[in-house]
């Protein structure tokens, strides 16, 4: 797992490191890392431009310019606030023949040292003007200027880098916004950092957690997933969610609802019944996709919540919980619940999402004592125990009708297999976007194709030796 730390924590850790190293040492180490990556990106080309702001982020850029000059690179710099440019960095830059210019022209790479960890809000007009006219790839120092370091929110003009070089540890922006390729330079911060604020699952974590049958397993020991989804009007949601649960693990899947006939026709291996009471024992329920929000659907949701097994509540189940808070009474608060809202469903449940998606997910997790998976290009998953996972997709091919039904089926199967609910949601989200990428391969896909790629996605995350 990769950790990400908020700016407040990073700054406190930096202060502790700075107290025991010579003045300027940390900045030079950071800047040397920037220069090293810049040389790699330049791949033999030799003209670099710096955009230098008023803070230490600009200082990093000037020192990087100094190191690049010493390697024979032609470096010019625009000082956005000449009076406040980092004095030692500027002096060093000038000493080795760095040029201060009014505008960057004819460069092969731009280093964005406009603002870093201390800035909030979009680029100011003068910086935005320079950025708008760039025609070379950009390397951002620490983070793309104009993007919020803690929330990744973009509220106006900002930098879109090809690569971001950050220092000491990853910050939330690196998982929540587009930073291009992210490179981490060690500046000795690790010993000063306690547990991270956010976590990102790596492929190996997902592979290690994914349930695999052992020699003593049978169809029951791997978990039976119940699917309470679909309706006469929307049988498709039931077919997709049931299929996802079937493909996720080797456990059994029971379907209960009005779409039994359609589900049976597509998935003969699923045990299909008309009602929850006839469904038999399960180790988890998925409830909501295509279920409708009428009185019958409410009764289904209430029965599922009363069973006392982990539940993944999606789509119409979320709307019903939002519209009729009495339904919460059916739930035993100790039984794991995973809610999977998109922004509009979140709004119905817990008010506006706002710019800070991590805070929003945490708020709802707290309020409902549930794992909340807030869907988006970056999926944020918050647990009521305070842990937060983020999962950034590399593409948006999963944003298609029916895709959410597949996700809830995957989560349900992992819950039935006994995974920790946060991990179940995180692993499912990761395999889901990977399946979308594999299926799409550069062209739009329907959810059935995403579903069909789930086995390939699982193969791709599983360790080769297992």
Query: Does the annotation list 214 as a binding residue?
Result: no
Element (H, E) at 301: helix 295-306
| Maximum C-alpha span of the chain | 82
| Least spacing, CB of residue 1 vs ligand NAX, in Å | 24
- Report the residue from 38, 119, 175, 461 that binds ligand NAX according to the rule CB under 6 A: 119
- Report the residue from 117, 260, 416, 439 that binds ligand NAX according to the rule CB under 6 A: 117
Name the binder of 340 from ligand NAX, K ion, none, CB < 5-8 A by kind.
none
Element (H, E) at 348: helix 343-350
Q: Report CA 36 to chain centroid distance, whole Å.
A: 28
- Report the residue from 6, 56, 76, 145 that binds K ion according to the rule CB under 5 A: 145
Q: Report CA 32 to chain centroid distance, whole Å.
A: 29
Q: Does 142 bind ligand NAX (CB under 6 A)?
A: yes
Q: Which is nearer to ligand NAX, 180 or 274 (CB)?
A: 180
Q: Considering CB under 6 A, how many residues would be counted as binding ligand NAX?
A: 24
Q: Please give the residue whose beta carbon sits closest to ligand NAX in the complex.
A: 116
Coil, helix or strand for 350? Answer: helix
Q: What is the secondary structure of 399-458 as a DSSP string?
A: -STTHHHHHHHHHHHHHHTT--HHHHHHHHHHHHHHHHHHHHTTS---HHHHHHTHHHHH
Query: Does the annotation list 375 as a binding residue?
Result: yes
Stretch in the footprint of ligand NAX (CB under 6 A) among 109-117, 231-239, 389-397, 456-464: 109-117
- Report the residue from 14, 112, 148, 197 that binds K ion according to the rule CB under 5 A: 112
Name the binder of 224 from K ion, ligand NAX, none, CB < 5-8 A by kind.
none
Coil, helix or strand for 98? Answer: coil
| Least spacing, CB of residue 346 vs K ion, in Å | 31
| Least spacing, CB of residue 191 vs ligand NAX, in Å | 15
Name the binder of 140 from ligand NAX, K ion, none, CB < 5-8 A by kind.
K ion
Q: Cα angle at 279 between 278 and 281, to 5 degrees?
A: 120
Measured distance CA(21)–CA(23) in Å, rounded: 6
Measured distance CA(460)–CA(393) in Å, rounded: 16
Q: How many CA atoms lie within 13 A of 83 on its CB side?
A: 0
Q: Report CA 149 to chain centroid distance, whole Å.
A: 15
| Least spacing, CB of residue 29 vs ligand NAX, in Å | 8
Q: Does 5 bind ligand NAX (CB under 6 A)?
A: no
Q: Which is nearer to ligand NAX, 123 or 427 (CB)?
A: 123
Q: Give me the residues that bind ligand NAX (CB under 6 A), please.
A: 14, 18, 26-27, 30, 53-57, 60, 115-119, 121, 123-124, 127, 141-142, 167, 187
């Amino acid at each position: 797992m990769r950790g990400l730390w908020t700016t407040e924590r990073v700054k406190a850790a930096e202060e502790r490191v700075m107290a025991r190293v010579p003045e300027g040492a940390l900045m030079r180490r950071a800047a040397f890392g920037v220069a090293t990556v810049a040389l790699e990106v330049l791949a033999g080309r030799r003209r670099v431009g710096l955009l230098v702001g008023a803070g230490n982020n600009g200082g990093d850029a000037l020192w990087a310019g100094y190191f690049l000059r010493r390697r024979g690179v032609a470096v010019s710099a625009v000082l956005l606030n000449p009076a406040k440019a980092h004095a030692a960095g500027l002096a060093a830059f000038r000493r080795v023949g760095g040029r201060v210019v009014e505008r960057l022209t004819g460069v092969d790479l731009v280093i964005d040292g406009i603002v870093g960890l201390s800035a909030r809000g979009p680029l100011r007009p003068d910086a935005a003007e320079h950025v708008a006219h760039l025609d070379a790839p950009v390397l951002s120092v620490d983070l793309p200027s104009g993007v919020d370091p803690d929330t990744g929110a973009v509220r106006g003009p900002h930098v879109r880098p090809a690569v971001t070089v950050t220092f000491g540890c990853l910050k939330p922006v690196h998982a929540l916004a587009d930073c291009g390729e992210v490179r981490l330079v060690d500046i000795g911060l690790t010993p000063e950092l306690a547990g991270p604020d956010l976590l990102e699952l790596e492929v190996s974590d997902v592979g290690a957690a994914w349930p695999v049958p052992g020699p003593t397993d049978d169809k029951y020991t791997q978990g039976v997933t119940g699917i309470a989804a679909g309706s006469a009007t929307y049988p498709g949601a039931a077919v997709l969610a049931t299929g996802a649960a079937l493909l996720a693990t080797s456990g059994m899947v029971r379907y209960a609802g009005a779409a039994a006939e359609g589900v049976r026709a597509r998935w003969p291996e699923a045990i299909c019944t008309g009602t929850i009471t006839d469904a038999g024992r399960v180790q988890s329920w998925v409830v909501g996709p295509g279920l409708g929000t009428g009185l019958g659907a409410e009764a289904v949701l209430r029965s599922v919540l009363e069973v006392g097994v982990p539940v993944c509540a999606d789509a119409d189940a979320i709307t019903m919980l939002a519209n009729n808070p009495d339904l919460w009474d059916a739930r035993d608060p100790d039984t794991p619940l995973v809610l999977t809202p998109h922004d509009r469903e979140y709004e119905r449940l817990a008010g506006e999402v706002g710019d800070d998606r991590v805070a929003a997910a945490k708020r709802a997790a707290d309020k409902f004592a549930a794992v909340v998976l807030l869907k988006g290009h970056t999926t944020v998953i918050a647990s009521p125990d305070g842990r937060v996972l983020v999962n950034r997709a590399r593409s948006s091919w999963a944003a298609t009708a029916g895709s959410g039904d597949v996700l809830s089926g995957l989560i349900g199967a992992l819950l039935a297999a006994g995974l920790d609910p946060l991990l179940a949601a995180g692993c499912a989200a990761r395999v889901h976007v990977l399946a979308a990428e594999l299926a799409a391969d550069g062209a739009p896909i329907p959810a059935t194709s995403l579903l069909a790629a789930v086995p390939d996605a699982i193969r791709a995350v599983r360790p080769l030796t297992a």
